């Protein structure tokens, strides 16, 4: 056979690890070239977008001023590693040895049994845990640093140690090694293919999917509770849900979700939908579905969100049902807006809202948790510059900040699953919602971050003004149900609890198990987690915790028992469109379907 004929033969389909990887890398060369170029692009031209160089420089200076403390920390680290070596040696000769370091409860990086059963990987795991904790603790206990610098140094040190976990690398992750051997490297081939796909989807930057984004469709298998859009303006579509009972409470229930996410976190699946459950309990439920804003809405203000969001919804509810009096729920930043609205209404002697519930909502931001590491003058200036081009903050940028708060779960576990194990993203309704990001209009977003996170003005009587009306939460005297979650990393429960000192009326504080989402979305039928309640409701957090009693399962029934007596007598169920408002379209509506 001639050389010409030999070269004319079709190349064999790659079936080995090396050939497969080379084939895919060559095929995806353009995308990888874009990816390699992407890190050279800095945010707004700044080399330090998170403003960490100064805090780390000051921490290094303070460490140098306390050499004895640093030496002691290093000696402690060496001694702990010596204990690990001794235990490893005992295991090697068949003796039992208690672990020197154990992973934290809920740490999913080391759940594979091989991390403990195989001595080498057990040593790697414990060595990493010892060293990473030592580094974070050492950087967290530096004298002479401001509280802001110390918080920022600890947070970003933790980001570094999380990134360096042995679970994130092929040759030090036993699960990846096993999968590579068993599949003859096809997991890596699939991983490179996934990587190329995600770089292409990100236009040269890695856009790592948390879930299979083709697995769900709004109104089909997610956000399916029957309802109608009965009102809309530039900022909201108002959903009125179909009744599931013959009678309902006279006062409708208005839910104000956060505008930084889509509303349907409260209506994922029928089995875990808070909205469907509330409707089944006899509440006439309305929800504000916020628009996903574009450049045309960049100058919308907090007053606009108050007027075109909450107040427009209240007017529409009266037209739809004939009822002026309502109860409300505000979730996260939607709760912050609701709190400000209640104070404004109190100042104007507007008594339409008779009781309000807050889900994971902060009024006092002095202890607002790790999100505060992203809030200082330099970072806000950088953020404002980024938003100036289009008039909004892209939803993916906001999601990145939230994902960093739980980097192991929302970044590194996904990275290992998608690229090292070569698996497809899981089909998970909560992660689908989490990935369905919304944009932030420039004027509103900067106002919220400066007034609440940076200056904490909402918690100060008269510190914030809306329509030139000083806001004082102390004027709010209606009954309040205050929900918080013990593991909430976005609205920490000590921060949420502070609202008890701000409102003047009766406040029922309840502490749920789990975190920012699962602590709220916990239907009774699931029989998961627990919640704590202190019926005496002291205003001191330590006293509240000391006297709190744990209850198994969901807190939803406790909330229903609180709200039902405040919701008026039972009346005939109301159908959407039966009042003065025409039906515009079916829920979930077009605003919820707008993608960033």
The catalytic site residues sit at 332
The whole-angstrom separation of Cα 440 and Cα 433 is 17
Cβ atoms of 405 and 490 closer than 8 Å: yes
DSSP character string of 135-162: HHHHHHS-TT--HHHHHHHHHHHHHHHH
Looking at the DSSP assignment, which residues form a beta bridge with residue 530? 552
Which residues, 6 or more positions from 426, have their beta carbon under 8 angstroms from its beta carbon? 211, 212, 417
Q: How many helices (H) and strands (E) does the chain have?
A: 23, 17
Q: Identify whether the C-beta of residue 368 lies closer than 8 Å to the C-beta of residue 458.
A: no
- Cα(556)–Cα(535) distance, rounded to whole angstroms? 16
Nearest Cα to 277, choosing from 585, 542, 567, 526? 526
Q: At what angle do helices 29-37 and 17-27 cross, to 10 degrees?
A: 70
Q: Convert 513-534 into a string of H (helix), E (strand) and C (coil).
A: CCCCCCCCCCCHHHCCCEEEEC
* Burial grade of 549 (CB within 10 A; 0-12, 13-18, 19 or more): exposed
Please list the residues that pair with 521 across neighbouring strands: none
Is the peptide bond preceding residue 588 cis, with omega within 30 degrees of 0? yes
| SS3 assignment, position 482 | strand
């Amino acid at each position: 056979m001639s050389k010409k004929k030999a070269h004319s033969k079709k190349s064999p389909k790659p079936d080995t690890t090396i050939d497969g990887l080379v084939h895919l890398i060559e095929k995806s060369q353009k995308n990888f070239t874009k990816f390699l170029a992407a890190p050279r692009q800095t945010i707004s031209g700044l080399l330090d977008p998170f403003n960490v160089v100064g805090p780390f420089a000051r921490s290094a200076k303070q460490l140098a001023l306390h050499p004895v403390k640093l030496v002691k920390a290093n000696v402690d680290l060496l001694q702990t590693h010596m204990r690990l070596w001794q235990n490893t040696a005992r295991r090697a000769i068949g003796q039992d040895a208690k672990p020197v370091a154990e992973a934290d409860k809920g740490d999913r990086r080391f759940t594979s049994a091989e991390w403990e059963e195989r001595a080498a990987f057990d040593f790697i795991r414990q060595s990493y845990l010892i060293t990473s904790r030592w580094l974070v603790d050492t950087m967290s206990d530096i004298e002479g640093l401001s509280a802001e610098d110390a918080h920022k140094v600890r947070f970003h040190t933790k980001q570094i140690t999380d990134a360096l976990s042995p679970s994130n690398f092929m040759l030090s992750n036993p699960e990846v090694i096993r999968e590579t051997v068993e599949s003859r490297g096809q997991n890596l081939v699939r991983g490179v293919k996934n990587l190329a796909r995600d770089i292409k989807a990100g236009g040269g930057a890695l856009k790592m999917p948390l879930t299979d984004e083709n697995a769900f469709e709004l109104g089909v298998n997610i956000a399916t509770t029957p309802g109608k859009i009965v009102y809309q303006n530039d900022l909201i579509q108002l959903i009125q849900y179909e009744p599931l009972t013959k009678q309902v409470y006279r006062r409708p229930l208005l839910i104000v979700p956060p505008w930084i996410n889509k509303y349907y976190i409260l209506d994922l699946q029928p089995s875990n939908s808070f909205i469907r459950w509330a409707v089944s309990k006899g509440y006439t439920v309305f929800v504000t579905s916020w628009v996903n804003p574009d450049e045309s809405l960049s100058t919308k203000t907090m007053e606009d969100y108050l007027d075109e969001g909450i107040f427009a919804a209240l007017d529409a509810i009266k037209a739809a049902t004939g009822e002026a009096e309502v109860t409300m729920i505000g979730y996260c930043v939607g709760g912050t807006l609701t709190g400000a609205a209640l104070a404004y209404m109190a100042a104007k002697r507007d008594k339409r809202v008779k009781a309000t519930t807050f889900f994971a909502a902060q009024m006092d931001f002095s202890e607002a948790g790790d999100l505060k590491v992203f809030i200082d003058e330099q970072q806000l200036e950088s953020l404002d510059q980024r938003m100036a081009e289009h008039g909004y903050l892209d939803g993916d940028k906001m999601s990145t900040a939230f994902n960093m708060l739980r980097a192991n779960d929302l970044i590194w576990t996904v990275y290992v699953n998608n690229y090292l194990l070569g698996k497809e993203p899981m089909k998970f309704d909560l992660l689908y919602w989490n990935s369905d990001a919304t944009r932030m209009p420039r004027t509103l977003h900067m106002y919220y971050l400066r007034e609440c996170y940076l200056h904490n003005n909402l918690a100060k009587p008269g510190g914030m003004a809306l329509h030139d009306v000083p806001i004082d939460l102390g004027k709010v005297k209606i009954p309040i149900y205050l929900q918080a979650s013990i593991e909430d990393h976005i609205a920490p429960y000590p921060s949420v609890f502070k609202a008890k000192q701000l409102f003047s009326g009766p406040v029922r504080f309840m502490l749920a198990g789990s975190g920012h989402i699962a602590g709220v979305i916990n239907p009774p039928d699931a029989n998961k987690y627990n919640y704590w309640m202190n019926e005496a409701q002291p205003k001191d957090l330590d006293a509240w915790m000391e006297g709190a009693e744990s209850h198994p399962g969901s807190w939803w029934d406790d909330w229903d028992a609180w709200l039902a007596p405040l919701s008026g007598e039972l009346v005939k169920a109301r159908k959407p469109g039966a009042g003065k408002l025409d039906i515009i379209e079916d829920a979930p509506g077009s605003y919820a379907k707008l993608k960033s």
